[in-house]
Amino acid sequence: AVHRLYDVGGGAVVQIAQIFPEAIKNGAVSRSELKTVIAKRPSALSDIEQIVHPLVAQDRQIFLDNTTADIVVFDIPLLFETGGDTHMDAVVCVTTTPETQRQRVLERGTMDAAQFESILGKQMPDAEKRRRADYVITTDTLEHAREQVQAVIGDIRGKLNDA
């Protein structure tokens, strides 16, 4: 949703341009420029969140209003930190070792180690997320993760059928 909101014609472009014109490149919000803005002025993150979070919530509601699926999954990185968990029927925490997490993120090439550590520092500790989640999926191997996902889906569908 955020990628769509940041793209040309996206709902966040005009609002972000008003506050951070330097973050607009070719009619779209540049994520790398936003990272630079936030690095220079950490309070900018709050301003960005005040623009983006309501737009994402609206996008999510439109999606829900138009789906016929019996189970819907939302990938929300700061779910607990923003209180979004209170709006979910169930929460799944996907986890791995800190070393594997770091390796996976840095291999994407979208941020450096300092940016990764900064973002990680703003997040709730993984152990707390696991404690608060209804389901935990460990992504140690693809096959193990797949088995756990199928088990979660089975459990949720069973609860839907019992309701």
The tens digit of pLDDT for each residue in 97-130 reads 999 999 999 999 888 898 899 888 888 999 999 9
Question: 29, 16 in Cβ contact below 8 A?
Answer: yes
Residue 86: C-alpha distances to residues 46, 70, 82, 139 (Å): 21, 19, 10, 25
Which pTM does this prediction carry? Answer: 0.79
Helix (H) or strand (E) holding 132: helix 126-132
Conformational region of residue 131, where left means phi above 0, alpha means psi within -120 to 50, and beta covers everything else: alpha
Q: How far is CA 111 from CA 36, 103, 114, 115, 116, in A?
A: 11, 12, 8, 6, 6
132-163 residue pLDDT tens: 999 999 999 999 999 999 999 999 999 888 76
Q: How confident is the model at residue 68 (pLDDT cuts 50, 70, 90)?
A: very high
**What distance in Å separates the CA atoms of residue 42 and residue 39, rounded to the nearest whole number?**
6
What pLDDT does residue 163 have?
61
Tokens of 116: 């990764």
